[in-house]
Structure 1
Amino acid sequence: MSPAPTNTASAPQPSALPPSSDTSNLPHRENTVSDATSAPKVKPARKPLLRLELRDLSDDGTRAFLRLLHASTALETAIDANGVAYTTGRDIDEDHKEIHLSTDYINHVPESRQKEEIQGVIVHEMVHCWQHNALGTAPGGLIEGIADWVRLKAGFAPPHWKRTADGDWDAGYERTGFFLEWLEAAHGVDVVRKINEGLRGCKYDPDRLWHTCCGKSVENLWDGYKSSLGDGDSKQSPAEST
């Protein structure tokens, strides 16, 4: 499956409709509105072109995908390889992306959770198609953490996720995702969007990024997060506690 075109360097921008070059055949209409309200309409931001490829229709994981999800809906609101999934650029150019989801992985997820897990993985990987990465210099754990933060916010956190503060802040995935969730509460609901924007079109500068977004160093913020958990104790994710 390859959503295209997308742009990891900058967010898609709306463009104004081109003015008509010939109005001689149009009926005359009195100008009863102001210039401000009669300005050309603006097209909405473009959506990615999504394509789905299923390599083995006989695979049990493929059957589960097709049984549980309507492909066009699942991909729009947010496929074989080893591991869980990954996103990669295509040889055409960097605006074309492919998401590879292991159907073998799907087959080994408990059936009662397969739909939610597929949706969660797709949400995570779709984030990689759109997010900024400081021209490839951002910590990989931050990139993965932002994707899992979006998955967490979308309500697809799997039951084994736990809030832990052992190790480093940029360990990635749900560990960094829960750290970003805590930053929301401490520094405003738009803090992750500010972080993403701070990774746009420039190399990663930790002092500039974190002080601009949160007013502190990331090490200081991580210490605050650890304190909030109580000496690094683990806490269950919302999915596990229900």
Structure 2
Amino acid sequence: MPPASLPSPSRPWPIPKLHLRIDDLHHEGVDIFLNVVNPKEALHEAIMASFQWLYTPETVPRTVLQILLVLRPMDGVAYTTGTQSHKEIHFSLDHIKRSVKRARDEIMGVLVHEVVHCYQYNALDTCPGGLVEGIADFVRLHQGYTPPHWKPTGGGKWDTGYERTAYFLDWIESRYGDGTIKELNEWMKDNQYHRRIFKELTGRPVRKLWKMYCSSLGDPITDGFVLVSKLIVKSYKPLYPPTWKGPDPGFL
């Protein structure tokens, strides 16, 4: 017997119109990009990753009508801009050229990360930047596009963003149940950010969660002037970038 097909969602996923703009066809990064990914399929996968890890067909935002991917020479890696309905992802051809040895995984990882910014909630523009970036890399992590240098790290602050925060969110998800980060994102739809959301979701304040996470890695952390001893907790085994350049959101 053929395998049973999964039931269709009660409402179809809202795939927006997809557009591509290439600003310099002579750039080496263009050939690399087009040789390793199909633009339509790559964007579709990135969109579905956001939907899968942050939403259900009933809760997914339906305001995004168009995503324009712009490939152009520029510094940095990528950024997302636009309006509520029309999003633009600007992706550096120079970065693609530098990433030629692992081009497909890097291209897909960046697209997954940037598409999250098209859809994620940000607590009415009050969410710390590190958490915004951490959620984007949480989705990238779960989609399997992790760069070789990524690894769980303790110490410091939980909300410095990108992979450091992503692995912390993954630990929360693995410890407190599938869908925990989905609930965190949904809460930020209509509420201004407050660290109490972590206690509402897990029963523990975020500072305590961070100490437990660091201890699960075998790393005691320094909180102010007090050395926090290792806690006996279940060992964390992770599923599997620029450093955050914005203002320090604080140890919330």
Among residues 59, 78, 85, which one is paired with 1:85 in the alignment? 78
Q: Residue 159 of structure 1 contacts residue 237 of structure 1 at CA under 8 Å; is this kept in 2?
A: no
Which amino acid is the alignment partner of residue 212 of structure 2?
G
TM superposition outliers: structure 1 runs of 4+ over 6 Å: 235-239
How far apart in 2 are the matches of 1:185 and 1:66? 36
How far apart in 2 are the matches of 1:123 and 1:137? 23
1:46 matched to which residue of 2?
A: 14
Among residues 195, 206, 210, which one is paired with 2:184 in the alignment? 195
How far apart in 1 are the matches of 2:237 and 2:103? 20
Q: Which structure has the higher relative contact order (CA within 8 Å, separation 6+)? A: 1
How far off is 1:189 after superposition?
Answer: 1.2
Structure number with the higher strand fraction is 2
How far off is 1:43 after superposition?
Answer: 5.2
2:90 matched to which residue of 1?
A: 100
Secondary structure of the residue aligned to 2:76 is: coil
Alpha carbons of 1:115 and 1:220: their partners in 2 closer, same or farther (altered >3 Å)?
A: same
Q: TM-score by structure 1 length?
A: 0.75
1:18 matched to which residue of 2?
A: none
What do the CA deviations read for 1:181-224 (whole angstroms, capped 9, x no partner)? 111121111111011011112211211x1122111111110011
Q: Residue 160 of structure 1 contacts residue 237 of structure 1 at CA under 8 Å; is this kept in 2?
A: no
How far apart in 2 are the matches of 1:69 and 1:137? 35
Secondary structure of the residue aligned to 1:122 is: helix
Asked if 1:215 is matched to 2:183, the reply is no
How far apart in 2 are the matches of 1:62 and 1:237? 34
Asked if 1:206 is matched to 2:205, the reply is no
* Structure 2: tracts of 5 or more residues without a match: 1-9, 47-70, 222-235, 241-252
Among residues 225, 237, 242, which one is paired with 2:213 in the alignment? 225
Secondary structure of the residue aligned to 2:80 is: strand
Structure 1 or 2, whichever has the larger Rg, is 1
How far apart in 1 are the matches of 2:237 and 2:93? 28
Q: Residue 226 of structure 1 contacts residue 232 of structure 1 at CA under 8 Å; is this kept in 2?
A: yes
How far off is 1:237 after superposition?
Answer: 7.3
How far off is 1:161 after superposition?
Answer: 0.6
Secondary structure of the residue aligned to 1:100 is: strand
How far apart in 2 are the matches of 1:138 and 1:238? 25
How far off is 1:45 after superposition?
Answer: 3.5
Q: TM-score by structure 2 length?
A: 0.72
Q: Kindly report the root-mean-square deviation, in angstroms, between the aligned alpha carbons of the 2 structures.
A: 1.9
Asked if 1:60 is matched to 2:28, the reply is yes
* Structure 1: tracts of 5 or more residues without a match: 1-41
How far apart in 2 are the matches of 1:195 and 1:236? 22
Matches within 5 A, 1:123-162: 123-162=112-151
How far off is 1:112 after superposition?
Answer: 3.0
Alpha carbons of 1:238 and 1:206: their partners in 2 closer, same or farther (altered >3 Å)?
A: closer
Q: Residue 155 of structure 2 contacts residue 219 of structure 2 at CA under 8 Å; is this kept in 1?
A: no
How far apart in 2 are the matches of 1:72 and 1:186? 35
1:175 matched to which residue of 2?
A: 164
**Aligned pairs, number:** 192
Identity of aligned residues (%): 46
2:101 matched to which residue of 1?
A: 112
What do the CA deviations read for 1:154-202 (whole angstroms, capped 9, x no partner)? 0000101121112100010000000011111211111110110111122
Alpha carbons of 1:61 and 1:182: their partners in 2 closer, same or farther (altered >3 Å)?
A: same
Q: Residue 138 of structure 1 contacts residue 204 of structure 1 at CA under 8 Å; is this kept in 2?
A: yes
